[in-house]
Amino acid sequence: MDMTLNAFTLYILTGLQLGSIFVLIALGLTLIFGTLGVVNFAHGALYLIAIYLAVSINNALGFGLALILVPPILFIFGVLMERGLIQRFYDRPHTDQILVTFGLAIVLQELLKWVFGANNIPFAIPSWGNGIIMLHDYLPFLEGFVVYPKWRLILVVVSIITVAAVFALLHLTRFGLVIRAGMRDAEMMQFLGVNINRRFMIVFGLGSMIAGIAGVFGGPVTQVSPEVGMHLLVPSFLVVVIGGMGSLGGAVLAGILIGMAQSFTAPYINLNTVIIYLITVIVLLVRPRGLLGAKGVFE
């Protein structure tokens, strides 16, 4: 393959940008799965709520307010969803959990379609994020004139900050310690007198909030229409599977891997459409627990 350094850099950036959205959605999914053992088919719908809220607030009141309001609203929504619905399903079979979240996904998607219509709503990027970045000014090894949309780079940065924040929360705080212990053995935590139910609720809110952040910054890139949620859900599920169910590091690694794979196969349309599935099948055959999955977890 004959590729210049310029093209290579652009492919890498596009891969990172595509991966960023997958990582953000998959991070919430895997956090919820790892802690609560629930596969949330409605996670795409949470992203959908986030982009519709973000676009409405952005177009009416400005981006700043969207950024301040959407993630907390999604957090509250996640908490309510866990208390009102998911909580009833902890003791039911896994398939029931899939079914009820699938039903919720349909209901939410149709509600949003009813309110906002089926067409794409334009998401105006704030002026400070508009335009392009002259990459050749910053990266001396590039030849000539190389540019990249600014907003997509911002998305990558936001994604890195979010991932760092989640890892810091889980690994540097006492709350994170309890959550990680709960991911290992929730029953034992209860015997030790920890109110694990309240933590579950917060974790669900957190996963939902990450979808909120993804929505605020990803909305302009992924478009704002009712199909977006389900479109993103399938690859995000695969990211979780490839990375290893319940593994946060795995989700990040697999998200970037999938993003890169999509970016680098872009010139070959036939390969591009199936590359995600090919990678999934190969990983499944070679390493069934996923790249960074813990031994014995859904192996």
Binding site for another protein (CB under 8 A): 39, 85, 88, 92-96, 98-100, 102-104, 106-107, 110-111, 113-114, 230, 234, 237-238, 241, 245, 269-270, 272-274, 276-277, 280-281, 284-285, 288, 298
Report, in Å, the least distance between residue 115 CB and another protein.
11
Taken as a whole, the chain contains a residue count of 299
Closest to 14 in 3D by CA, of 264, 281, 183, 290: 264
Closest to 123 in 3D by CA, of 225, 17, 15: 225
Rounded Cα–Cα distance for residues 139 and 147 (Å): 11
Closer of 80 and 160 to another protein (Cβ): 80
Report, in Å, the least distance between residue 110 CB and another protein.
4
Closer of 113 and 150 to another protein (Cβ): 113
Sign of CA dihedral 99, 103, 105, 106: positive
| C-alpha distances out from residue 69 to 56, 137, 180, Å | 11, 35, 28
273, exposed or middle or buried, with CB in 10 Å at 0-12, 13-18, 19+? exposed
Identity of the amino acid at 155: L
Report, in Å, the least distance between residue 89 CB and another protein.
8
Residue appearing with tokens 């990040």: 252
Closer of 136 and 231 to another protein (Cβ): 231
Report, in Å, the least distance between residue 112 CB and another protein.
10
Closer of 161 and 284 to another protein (Cβ): 284
Report, in Å, the least distance between residue 14 CB and another protein.
19
Closer of 19 and 229 to another protein (Cβ): 229
